[in-house]
Amino acid sequence: MGNAMTWLQASRNSDIASLQRLLETGELITAISELVHRLQRERGANNLWICSNGALFSAERHARQQEVSASLQHFYRALPPAVAQPGFSRFCNLIASALQALDGLPALREQISQREHDQAAAMSAFNQVIRTLLNLVFEAADTASYPAISRALIALFSFMQGKELAGQERAIGAAGFAARHFTPDQRSQLVALIAAQEQSFATFQEFADSATCERWQPLSQASRDIERLRRIACTGGPCDETGALHWFSLLSRRLDQMKTLEDALTATLMQRCREAIDQAHQQPMFTMVQGDSNFSLYVSGADWLHGAAALNSDGLAPQLGRSVLSLIGEQSQRLQQQTNELASMRASLDERRVIDQAKHWLMQQQGFTEEAAWQALRKSAMNQNKRVLEIAQAVLAVAKTLNT
């Protein structure tokens, strides 16, 4: 009996320790959300400045840099201690990658100021920095072991991914309008980005709670003005320099509204973590009652206790053995339910991982941009009446064959 109760207590303490780490991770994700938003703003300002040959957003570029610097300090303070922990290796490695990418920001800004990067190169560099930060959020969603928290993390990550794609749309659109024309590659990228946003936001709605989905509905469809400018951009219609500022203003307003919803998602995540920790602390296990020369042990919630003092120091009542088995059974059922729910959620994340791997291979082999690779997968899926996942799996099978 003693050993069983000891290990049940160890199980609960392990739950609490894991939840505490998730709570700390949630604080880091909150900082990442703010930092990514500021980086998206700086990326858009740089695009306008580059494509207008320095005529637009010169002062805004420096203001956005200062905002990013402030968010960086918050991010650094939110980082967990760099100490070894079981199952923490990959997360630490992703943190290292993000820090290395962030360390390159001063050099990137100087290269942009010296006109050493064109719009595409500058945007690609910012995209990579943001991607390393989003990878941290994805890793947290992939490893969380509590269904309610996993759902909140997947909803948040999917929303952040969709918002980043919307940010890339703003940046490319601003570049095209500032340059007063859109290249065929830019038009193709915009079409792919709009489609990819829809996919990310659909996943977000699948895992978000109903109240959050209701808040999203007014934002889910772009305004008429945005749709009108999208048509101009995607069809190569006539545009002038004033379109750049109008486009940037409209998309910035929409992204700021998305950020408000993103803040609500991070607040929900933190609340889920705190609720789970409180629940774990409050979950009754057993109560010790002191006697004169012996003791009695009662297991909370056991219906056999009515009218009986089951255990004292003279021996072990069989009812207590049954109660401990009941506790173990309840714990096993809870863990199995969590496992089943998590398996379903992980399937969605696994699909994303397969598609990302296929996109990466196409980018390496065909020289595609990330958006062009996604568009190629999507077009092939539509032509063959298959899911994008199936096409991605076929691409990876080909890649494996070529590599053997």
Sign of CA dihedral 258, 28, 155, 170: positive
Angle, in degrees to the nearest 10, between helices 2-51 and 318-366: 20
- Tell me the CA distances in angstroms from 196 to 94, 191, 378, 386, 397, one per residue in order: 24, 9, 9, 17, 23
**For each of the chain's 404 residues, which pLDDT tens digit applies?**
457 777 777 877 887 888 888 888 888 999 999 999 999 999 999 988 998 888 888 999 999 999 999 999 999 999 988 888 777 788 889 999 999 999 999 999 999 999 999 988 999 999 999 999 998 888 887 777 777 888 888 889 889 999 999 999 999 998 888 888 888 888 888 888 888 888 889 889 988 989 999 999 999 988 999 999 999 888 877 777 678 889 999 999 999 999 999 999 999 988 888 888 888 777 655 433 333 333 333 334 444 344 444 433 334 344 444 444 454 455 455 555 656 665 666 676 777 778 888 888 888 888 887 777 888 888 888 888 888 888 888 888 878 777 75
Sign of CA dihedral 354, 359, 364, 366: positive
Angle, in degrees to the nearest 10, between helices 184-207 and 210-220: 160
Sign of CA dihedral 41, 42, 43, 46: positive
What distance lies between CA 251 and its chain's CA centroid? 21
- Tell me the CA distances in angstroms from 9 to 113, 137, 283, one per residue in order: 59, 31, 11
* Gap between the Cα atoms of 396 and 135, Å rounded: 21
Q: Supply the DSSP symbol for 240.
A: -
In the block, residue with structure tokens 């989905």: 213
Residues with Cβ within 8 Å of 277's Cβ and at least 6 positions away in sequence, in order, are: 16, 19, 20, 23
Q: Are 129 and 104 in contact (CB under 8 A)?
A: yes
Decide: pTM greater than 0.75. no
DSSP letter for each residue of 101-163? HHHTHHHHHHHHHTT-S-HHHHHHHHHHHHHHHHHHHHHHHHH---HHHHHHHHHHHHHHHHH
What distance lies between CA 404 and its chain's CA centroid? 34
**340: exposed, middle or buried (Cβ count in 10 Å: 0-12, 13-18, 19+):** exposed
158 CB-side CA count, 13 A? 24
DSSP letter for each residue of 263-322? HHHHHHHHHHHHHHHHHHHHS---EEEE-SSSEEEE-TT-GGGTT----BTTB--HHHHH
Q: Supply the DSSP symbol for 377.
A: H
Q: Supply the DSSP symbol for 35.
A: H
**373: exposed, middle or buried (Cβ count in 10 Å: 0-12, 13-18, 19+):** buried
What is the three-state SS of 72-86? HHHHHHHCCCCCCCC
CB atoms within 10 A of CB 335: 13
* Gap between the Cα atoms of 202 and 279, Å rounded: 31
